[in-house]
Amino acid sequence: MLECVLVMDFGGQYCHLIARRIRELGVYSEIIPPAADLGDYGDRYEIKGFILSGGPQSVYEKDSQRLREEFMKHIRDENIPVLGICYGHQVIAFYEGGEIESGGMKEYGVTDMVVDKSVSILKGLSRKEKVWMSHSDTVTGMPPGYEILAHTRNSPVVAFRHRKKQIYGVQFHPEVVHTEKGVQVFRNYLFNICKCKGNWEMGDFIEESIEKINTAIGEKKAVIALSGGVDSSTAAVLAHRAIGKQLTSVFIDTGLMRKNEPESIQKTFTEDFHLNFRFVDAKERFFKVLEGVSDPEEKRKIIGETFIKVFEDVAREVGADYLIQGTIYPDRIESGLKDAATIKTHHNVGGLPEVLGIEIVEPLQDLYKDEVREVARKLGLPEEISERHPFPGPGLAIRVIGEVTRESVAIVKEADAIVKEEIKSAGLEKGLWQFFAVLLSIKTVGVQGDVRTYRNTVALRIVESVDGMTANFAEIPYVVLERISTRITNEIPEVNRVVYDLTHKPPGTIEWE
Ligand code: XMP
């Protein structure tokens, strides 16, 4: 059975990072809600460790007490090594009979920690270490049977362990990069304490996933809406490996994709991967429903609904019993981690399953984005797909300010292609989150070839970001910006002006609509 370390999510802002760090060390990890039935997980995995995450609440709150009691009882019965982090650290101390001071000495940010004993969880750490703190409650007295391993100026108990049992707590956040020896703390816990082997690999994932899809779908038929993005492409190729031609991969050409993208996607999946590929040319339909619409939300709604209608027709025609979706782990964390126990779920991410009334299979539901990219590489998907930058569902429609017409989309498509080419040839692609053009709804006066012109303006949006939640406009060398600007005004006759967007997110969003 696959080794797994469970992370109980008490609502801490860094909780998802804990599972990431563990997986980075080659041990599979899942985040579970406090109300999870732990028996379910025991049936699926060899549970090697339990981590209690941080959280915003205080141990003195009533609700946290109920959860805490249930959880601690289970841990003690199973004798699985437990590590409490921040709030989790306080939970253990409190439940075991220690003292917690509420709202006393708060600590936020990088803090100096003094290691009193560099053993077990703190093995290999120096006497003084920098750690990341974010807490207002503090453990002030040790429960019986426990010993202190570290302290700071304001917190007498920053790390502890039980003298006999395998129970540990740290007030700091080892999962945050500012904790310099955070990875060492996880190594100690995973390999010395939990005795994990550390053999979780994406290759295993592929084999297991193919088997699971096979078991779930059997001889029946499935469909997938394949957009050419890394998630749906990876899900489609995995499912194809499992059930072959029983899967129909539907690509809907909305007319709102980037230059040459529909053709290139079709070629990849038919010629290289031999998928049962259905190319649906819906350009007319999308341009028709978008006529006269300029409100951004209205555009998004119309595109979403039209997409579902077009897809629904194909799915019915195919007679599919299952819908494969490329939902990934962060999508599920955002929607509350329901149905964590099986790869077949009924929850609804894109609105499709409800309309179709069929079951969903989500082969990537436990993976992070970089893990999906690794699977994509292992499956042999081209770099164009495995390393693809984010692209919004409504496509170029939300990069045309004002009405979306064939003409306006054609302009932004050309400009986008130039941005992409120049950023790529300058070798800047990998360090950027996104880079694209936006067609504005204003015209300005210019002079081209000694003639006065009155033409469109294109804005360049080039940003750096880690997760898309916040972003900075990128400091692109002027020479690259100049090349982009010159090419756009030379090669696209409808454009006489190019501007660079100097707005971070917040206050701006990455997309303009
Ligand atoms: P914003 O514009 O909100 O975007 O700062 C954050 C990230 O999300 C992408 N984005 C979308 N992705 N469907 C998607 O799949 C959408 O409707 C959508 N809208 C924005 C955006 O490109 C950026 O990476």
Tens of pLDDT, residue by residue, the chain (513 residues): 889 999 998 888 888 899 999 999 999 999 988 877 777 788 778 999 999 998 888 888 876 666 667 667 766 667 799 999 999 999 999 989 999 998 777 899 999 999 999 999 999 999 999 999 999 899 999 999 999 999 999 999 999 999 999 999 999 999 999 999 999 999 999 999 999 999 888 878 898 899 999 999 999 999 999 999 999 999 999 999 999 999 999 999 999 999 999 999 999 999 999 999 999 999 999 999 999 999 999 999 999 999 999 999 999 999 999 999 999 988 877 666 544 333 333 333 445 666 677 899 999 998 989 999 999 999 999 999 999 999 999 999 999 999 999 999 999 999 999 999 999 999 999 999 999 999 999 999 999 888 999 999 999 999 999 888 889 999 999 999 999 999 999 999 999 999 999 999 999 999 999
Euclidean distance between CA atoms 62 and 53, whole angstroms: 18
Whether the bond into 493 is cis, omega within 30 of 0:
no
Phi, psi (degrees; rounded to nearest 5) at 418: -65, -45
> Distance, CA 391 to ligand 1 centroid (Å)?
7
Whole-number pLDDT of residue 37: 77
Helix 202-217 × helix 230-243 angle, to 10°: 60
State the helix-helix crossing angle for 62-78 and 87-95, rounded to 10 degrees.
80
Phi, psi of 175 (to 5 degrees): -75, -15
Beta bridge partners of 473: 463
Task: Give pLDDT, residue 342.
Answer: 38
Q: Is 446 in the pocket of ligand 1 (CB under 6 A)?
A: no
> What ligand 1 atom has the least distance to the C-alpha of 465?
24
Query: Residue with the nearest Cα to atom 16 of ligand 1?
Result: 392
What are the two backbone dihedrals, phi and then psi, of residue 441, each rounded to the nearest 5 degrees? -95, 20
Q: Is the CB of 441 under 6 A from ligand 1?
A: no
Residue burial 372-381, b: 16+ Cβ < 10 Å; e: rest: bbbbbbebeb
Closest ligand 1 atom, residue 508 Cα: 5
3 CA to centre of ligand 1 in angstroms:
35
Q: With CA atoms as reference, report the closest residue to 252 among 234, 222, 278.
A: 278
Cα torsion angle, 45, 51, 55, 58, sign:
positive
What does each C-alpha distance from 328 to 51, 163, 349, 361, 367 come to in angstroms? 22, 40, 11, 12, 6
Using the mean position of ligand 1's atoms as its centre, give its distance from the Cα of residue 295 in Å. 17
**Residue ranges with strand state E in 384-474:** 434-448, 451-464, 472-473
Query: Element (H or E) spanning 249, and its range?
Result: strand 247-253
Q: What is the pTM of this model?
A: 0.79
Neighbours of 113 (CB within 10 A): 27
Structure tokens at 349: 């991410």
CA of 511 to the centre of ligand 1 (A): 7
* pLDDT score recorded for residue 194: 97
pLDDT at 13: 81
**Which pairing describes strands 46-52 and 3-8: parallel, antiparallel, or unpaired?**
parallel
Q: How far, in Å, from the CA of 241 to the mean position of ligand 1?
A: 30
The sign one gets for the Cα dihedral 404, 405, 406, 412 is negative
Helix boundaries (H) for 339-425: 352-356, 369-378, 383-386, 406-425
**Residues 46, 49, 54, 60, Cα dihedral to 10°:** 100
Q: How far is CA 168 from CA 56, 384, 441, in A?
A: 20, 45, 60
Locate 148 and state its tokens. Answer: 């202190």
Residue 79: predicted pLDDT: 79
Q: What is the residue whose two structure tokens read 């959860």?
A: 67
List, by residue number, the catalytic residues: 86, 173, 175
Considering only CA atoms, which of 115, 513, 454, 92 is closest in space to residue 301?
513
Bridge partners of residue 322, in order along the sequence:
222, 359
**Cα-only R_g, the chain:** 26
Closest to 152 (Cα-Cα) out of 112, 182, 189: 112
How many residues can be counted in the chain?
A: 513
Cα atoms in the Cβ-side hemisphere of radius 13 Å centred on 289: 20
Whether 52 and 82 have beta carbons less than 8 Å apart is answered as yes
> From the CB of 468, is ligand 1 less than 6 Å away?
yes
Task: Compute, in angstroms, the gap from residue 394 CA to the centroid of ligand 1.
Answer: 9
> Given the CA of residue 394, which atom of ligand 1 is nearest to it?
17
Smallest CA separation from ligand 1 atom 11, residue? 392
**Nearest protein CA to atom 12 of ligand 1, as residue:** 392
Q: Is 434 in the pocket of ligand 1 (CB under 6 A)?
A: yes
| Ligand 1 pocket test, candidate residues 308, 511, 513, most atoms within 8 A of CB | 511
Q: Determine the Cα–Cα distance for residues 123 and 118; give it in Å rounded to an integer.
A: 5
Ligand 1: centre distance to CA 506 (Å): 14
Is there an atom of ligand 1 within 6 Å of 393 CB? Answer: yes
Question: From the alpha carbon of 511, which atom of ligand 1 is closest?
Answer: 2
Q: Which atom of ligand 1 is nearest to the CA of 471?
A: 5
* β pairing state of 82-85 and 167-170: parallel
The two tokens of residue 218 are: 């059997």
Q: If you search the block for the tokens 């949006």, which residue do you land on? A: 461
